[in-house]
Amino acid sequence: MTEPTPRAPLAERALAQRVLAVPPSGIRRFFDIAATMQNVISLGVGEPDFDTPREIIEAGVESLREGRTHYTSNYGTIELRRALSDHLFRLYGVRYNPANEILITVGASEAVDLALRATCDPGDEVILHEPSYVAYVPAVVFAGGTVVHVPTRFEDDFALDPAVVEAAITPKTKGLFLGYPANPTGAVLTDAQQDALADIARRHDLIVYSDEIYDRLVYGDYRHRAFSSLPGMFERTILMGGFSKAYAMTGWRVGWLCAPAHLLEGIVKIHQYGIMSAPSVAQDAALVAITGGEAAVETMRAEYDRRRRLLVDGLNRLGLATFEPLGAFYAFPNITSTGLTSDEFVERLIQEEAVACVPGTAFGPSGEGHVRMCYATSYEKLEEALGRIERFLGRLKAERAS
């Protein structure tokens, strides 16, 4: 028997460096505080307050009753892939082959993870705008890649400047990650910005990872375009989306990833070995969502729009300058006038007025001075929240004056 090599105790080296490098989600911390309090109005979690529309639930129930309780194809059911192919073609004019260019995933979350794990080698750089959704940085790091942040700022309406993106490119850049409409800012990409980014991707031969989960939740005159529908982008774009937000299906855990066949072939391997297939019941429900859910999507979108106007106008009226979000369901007020940091603001607002929101820093360094408030909660609760925020701001003002 050979003597074991002396090394540090297992507890000190069990977790991989890339896992240790990622902090826990900055969103969850405040949920734990909220969970211990009564009468909390939560503007924290990014999920619809609506239940899944009835006909979609019925489709799920029916699926189970019919005994459709087995694994599906690794790619997802062919019915859902066909319907999704038609859906994306109808909305955006981009056609994916249901046989080998569409993968049904466990939410857009899995799609993001797969896209990066399938394409990043150690040392590869991925350019990412920030502030942006909390899962993007960990997904790159877990994949062994390196994030290169490109800031967006309140002063520029959180617009992503293509020139700044281009300046961040190095010989190690593998791709550009875009999450638009954006969580947490609600910013969207204009056609001109998209065209310029597409031009950069073409010239520098980059992959474009495009998380478009909020594609259906846009407001005013804004019209979403799928990034892969732009000239020359199909071949290099990994398009990701899902049912959670537009169809109020967060708990069903179903989403999608579309990519040209040569990329999808590799991506499917990770899904195949790690997941097998998305839940069969959720896929059957999603089929009804995509084929018959349009009216429900529009009803919910119109209601989010009403709430968006209430919250954004209300925050601006209270002196918290808030950029007008054109997509998703978040407001991202600037709270610097209070003299508090994002963390302090969130901590005090929940302790003193039982309103939960998320510090902007959870989404990247440029989020300092902001907090994220989700308006996928009832109009009445938003009115009440605004009243509480007004009282809170009044108290802060009085404190500063004394």
Q: Which residues bind ligand PLP (CB under 6 A)?
A: 46, 107-109, 133, 179, 183, 211, 213, 242, 244, 250, 255
- The span from the CA of 309 to the CA of 208, in Å, is 32
CB of 331 to ligand PLP, least distance (A): 14
CB of 402 to ligand PLP, least distance (A): 40
Q: Give whichever of 74 and 250 is closer to ligand PLP, judged by the CB atom.
A: 250
Residue closest to ligand PLP (Cβ)? 107
Q: Give whichever of 209 and 345 is closer to ligand PLP, judged by the CB atom.
A: 209
Which H or E run contains 380?
helix 379-401
Closest by Cα among 210, 208, 215 to 246: 215
Q: Give whichever of 244 and 277 is closer to ligand PLP, judged by the CB atom.
A: 244
Q: Give whichever of 125 and 212 is closer to ligand PLP, judged by the CB atom.
A: 212
CB of 108 to ligand PLP, least distance (A): 4
Closest by Cα among 127, 26, 177, 131 to 366: 131
CB of 10 to ligand PLP, least distance (A): 33
Which H or E run contains 353?
helix 342-353
Measured between alpha carbons, how far is residue 249 from residues 47, 182, 203, 228, 256 in Å? 9, 19, 38, 25, 13
Is residue 211 classed as helix, strand or coil in its secondary structure?
Answer: strand
Q: Give whichever of 118 and 328 is closer to ligand PLP, judged by the CB atom.
A: 328
CB of 72 to ligand PLP, least distance (A): 18
CB of 244 to ligand PLP, least distance (A): 3
Find out whether 131 and 323 touch, Cβ atoms under 8 Å: no
CB of 179 to ligand PLP, least distance (A): 5
Closest by Cα among 65, 213, 78 to 136: 213
CB of 70 to ligand PLP, least distance (A): 23
DSSP labels for 294-306?
HHHHHHHHHHHHH
- The span from the CA of 373 to the CA of 304, in Å, is 13
Angle at 325 between CA 320 and CA 331, to 5 degrees: 45
Q: Give whichever of 25 and 272 is closer to ligand PLP, judged by the CB atom.
A: 25
Q: Give whichever of 133 and 332 is closer to ligand PLP, judged by the CB atom.
A: 133
Q: Give whichever of 109 and 280 is closer to ligand PLP, judged by the CB atom.
A: 109
CB of 255 to ligand PLP, least distance (A): 4
- The span from the CA of 21 to the CA of 140, in Å, is 12
Altogether, the residues listed in the chain come to a count of 402
According to DSSP, the residues that pair with 178 across neighbouring strands are 210
CB of 194 to ligand PLP, least distance (A): 17
Task: Give start and end residues of each alpha helix (H) in 188-341.
Answer: 191-203, 261-274, 280-292, 294-317
Q: Give whichever of 247 and 392 is closer to ligand PLP, judged by the CB atom.
A: 247
DSSP labels for 59-98?
HHHHHHHTT--S---TT--HHHHHHHHHHHHHHHS----T
Strand residues in 8-141 grouped as ranges (E): 41-42, 102-105, 125-130
Look up residue 332 and give its two tokens.
């991202």
Please give the order of strands across the beta sheet that includes 125-130. 102-105, 255-258, 237-242, 207-211, 173-179, 125-130, 146-151
Q: Give whichever of 178 and 396 is closer to ligand PLP, judged by the CB atom.
A: 178
